[in-house]
Chain A
Amino acid sequence: KAGVTQTPRYLIKTRGQQVTLSCSPISGHRSVSWYQQTPGQGLQFLFEYFSETQRNKGNFPGRFSGRQFSNSRSEMNVSTLELGDSALYLCASSLVEGYGELFFGEGSRLTVL
C-alpha cells in the first residue's frame, strides 16, 4: 500500500507570494491533518479534514487555509508569505475508525526569502 505522498518536497518562495502544498493520503484513509514544524516552535497543528470538512483547526492566522477533495486528497495554501512561514509542513492521514494512528508523509520544506 502506498504511503502518504506530499508534493513538492522542497520549494523556495519570496515574501508576499503564496504557496499551495499537496497531500495524497493512504488509500482508504479519510482523515488528513496538517502540521507545521520549525526548530523554535516544534510541531504545531494546523488543521484536520474529514470527508471534505474541516473538523479541527489550530491557532494559525487566516493566511493558512486548506481543503480536501472527494478522493481525500488535501491541499493547504499559505498566502502573503512571511519569513516566519519557513518550515517543514507535514501531512498525516489516519483511519477515523480504529486506533487513530497517524501516518506521516515526508513533508514539504518551504523556504521563504
Chain B
Amino acid sequence: AQSVTQLDSHVSVSEGTPVLLRCNYSSSYSPSLFWYVQHPNKGLQLLLKYTSAATLVKGINGFEAEFKKSETSFHLTKPSAHMSDAAEYFCVVSLITGNQFYFGTGTSLTVIP
C-alpha cells in the first residue's frame, strides 16, 4: 500500500531563514515522489520530482528535496525563505507504473517579514 505523511500541518519561518517541510512515505514499490505548491485559489504547481535518478533533486524557486530510502523520507528544503513562498505545499507519491497518485494532507507555510 502507498501513503504519504506530512509531519507538520503548519510551518512558520522568518524571511531569509531556512525552510524545512517534512514528508514520509510508504510504498510497496519504487515510488515517484513529487512536491507541489498551491497559492490561494490557484491550482497546484510542480516544484520538483524524484524518479529514481539522483537522490538530491533541485526544483524551481530555489527548492530542493532529498530522497532517503532508508528513512522513507522526502523532505523539502530551501536555504532562504522569501515572502512569495507563503503557500500550501503537498507531498505526493505515485507508482512509476500506473497513474495513481497519493497526496499528503498539506503543509501551510507562513513567512514572517
B70 at the interface (CB under 8 A from A): no
Contacts across chains A and B counted by CB atoms under 8 Å? 59
Please judge, given known A-B contacts A99-B32, A100-B32, A100-B96, whether A33 and B42 are in contact too, CB under 8 Å: no
Secondary structure type dominating chain A contacts: strand
User: What is the interface residue range for chain A against chain B?
Assistant: 20 to 34
Closest to B46 in A: A101
Please judge, given known A-B contacts A100-B32, A100-B94, A101-B34, whether A43 and B103 are in contact too, CB under 8 Å: yes
How far is A99 from B97 in the complex, measured between Cα atoms in Å? 9
User: What is the interface residue range for chain B against chain A?
Assistant: 20 to 34
A14 at the interface (CB under 8 A from B): no
Closest to A55 in B: B99
A46 at the interface (CB under 8 A from B): no
B90 at the interface (CB under 8 A from A): yes
- Asked if A43 contacts B96 (CB within 8 A), the reply is no
How far is A27 from B103 in the complex, measured between Cα atoms in Å? 25
List A contacts of B43 (CB < 8 A): 4, 6, 90, 104-107
Q: B residues touching A (Cβ–Cβ < 8 Å)?
A: 32, 34, 36, 41-46, 49, 51, 90, 92, 94-96, 98-101, 103, 105-106
Can you report 13 A-B residue pairs in the complex whose CB atoms are below 8 A from each other? A6-B43, A42-B106, A43-B106, A45-B101, A45-B103, A48-B99, A90-B43, A102-B34, A102-B46, A102-B92, A104-B44, A105-B43, A107-B42
